[in-house]
Amino acid sequence: MYRPDGWDTRVRIGVLTPHADVGPESELRAMAPGDVGVHAARVPFGAMRSGGAMGPTIPLAPVRAFAEPPQVDDAAELLAAAPVDVLAFAFTSSAYVIGAEAEAGMLERLSARAHGLPVVATCSATTQALRALGAGRIALVDPPWFSAELNHLGRAYYEAAGFGVVYAAPCSLPSGQQLIRPAELHDWVVGNVPDDADAVVVGGNGFRAVGAVENMERTLRRPVLTANQVLLWAALGAAGSSAAGIEGYGQLFSHTTVSP
């Protein structure tokens, strides 16, 4: 009898993540079944220091720079040299800053550097997920390290995509990745999301959130989308694979991907 060793997979996902951020890998591996591989390449992020430390709010300049060549492009090319089936851009806020059109251009550019592999990104995946769920009005909750300006850009991103944003704010929990606890996030969201939102969108791939999705949906009785949850859903769809075996991380995984 031989033990599972991680080699037998139906799909391998390559993740582009900030250099000092363990959030995307942690959450993707928690959700992914054993036959889904998760492999990351690290991309320098100017607002993040050694150990993952950041300021109370992140400035916009390094957020914008994260999506620009050459560093993320070089990382995509190197990661695509591994036997992966799809690349996942695990960063929320750059799409807020550059907008959906530039985000789409970035995905085309990265796919070209990745020798034609499909590339998915968090915010465009979220719009696909909202359409798959039939949600027209959303409440947008961002990490406490997102400034009011960055959150406002997030509101504009989803409004430009045709969604009504009935609520948008950074979460007022302590500002620090290591300080977030799923139970506290649940209580904050439940206490602040208005009743007229069809779905809740929790931004930030470094925001500890997927562990609270099931309880938030149960309490709110509506879909809850988080950054790494939608990224995994979109990556599986782009790779032609299914969400079979994913349970307890939200009703999204019972829906198939739809065209943007």
pLDDT number for residue 1 = 87
Note whether residue 148 is domain-resident: yes
Question: Looking at the predicted structure, is the pLDDT value of residue 259 above 50?
Answer: no
Question: Looking at the predicted structure, is the pLDDT value of residue 250 above 50?
Answer: yes
Note whether residue 219 is domain-resident: yes
**Boundaries of domain holding 94:** 11-122+228-247
**70 φ/ψ angles, rounded to the nearest 5 degrees:** -100, -15
Note whether residue 164 is domain-resident: yes
Q: What is the mean pLDDT of residues 89-102?
A: 98
Q: Are residues 233 and 189 in the same domain?
A: no
Q: Which two tokens stand for residue 48?
A: 């993040």
Q: Are residues 161 and 88 in the same domain?
A: no
| HSE of 214, CA atoms in CB hemisphere, 13 A | 7
Q: Are residues 148 and 84 in the same domain?
A: no
Q: Are residues 74 and 104 in the same domain?
A: yes
% of the chain exceeding 70 in pLDDT: 98
pLDDT in tens, 48-75: 999 888 999 999 999 999 999 999 999 9
Q: Are residues 147 and 118 in the same domain?
A: no
Q: Are residues 133 and 210 in the same domain?
A: yes
Do residues 55 and 144 make contact, with C-beta atoms less than 8 angstroms apart?
no
Question: Looking at the predicted structure, is the pLDDT value of residue 125 above 70?
Answer: yes
| HSE of 106, CA atoms in CB hemisphere, 13 A | 30
Q: Are residues 114 and 243 in the same domain?
A: yes
pLDDT band for 247, please (50, 70, 90 cuts).
very high
Q: Are residues 95 and 221 in the same domain?
A: no
Q: What is the CATH number of the domain that holds 175?
A: 3.40.50.1860
pLDDT number for residue 17 = 98
Note whether residue 258 is domain-resident: no
Question: Looking at the predicted structure, is the pLDDT value of residue 258 above 70?
Answer: no
Q: What is the mean pLDDT of residues 100-124?
A: 98
Q: Which two tokens stand for residue 150?
A: 């960055």
> How many C-beta atoms surround the C-beta of residue 23 within 10 A?
23
101: CB partners within 8 A, 6+ apart: none
**H helix intervals, the chain:** 23-31, 60-66, 71-80, 93-113, 122-133, 148-160, 182-192, 213-220, 227-238
pLDDT number for residue 21 = 96
Q: Are residues 141 and 220 in the same domain?
A: yes
Q: Are residues 42 and 21 in the same domain?
A: yes
Note whether residue 28 is domain-resident: yes
- Please give the tally of structural domains in the chain: 2
Note whether residue 209 is domain-resident: yes
Q: Are residues 20 and 116 in the same domain?
A: yes
Note whether residue 208 is domain-resident: yes
Q: Are residues 194 and 145 in the same domain?
A: yes
pLDDT in tens, 213-239: 999 999 999 999 999 999 999 999 999
pLDDT in tens, 166-210: 999 999 999 999 999 999 999 999 999 999 999 999 999 999 999
For 86, which DSSP code?
A: E
Question: For residue 224, is it left (φ>0), alpha (ψ between -120 and 50) or beta?
Answer: beta
Give the CA diameter of the chain: 56
- Taking alpha carbons only, the member of 130, 146, 147 closest to residue 200 is 130
Q: What is the mean pLDDT of residues 142-165?
A: 98
Note whether residue 145 is domain-resident: yes
- Rounded CA gap, 44 and 193, in Å? 34
pLDDT in tens, 6-43: 999 999 999 999 999 999 999 999 999 999 999 999 99
Give the angle 96-181-200 at the CA atoms, nearest 5°: 45
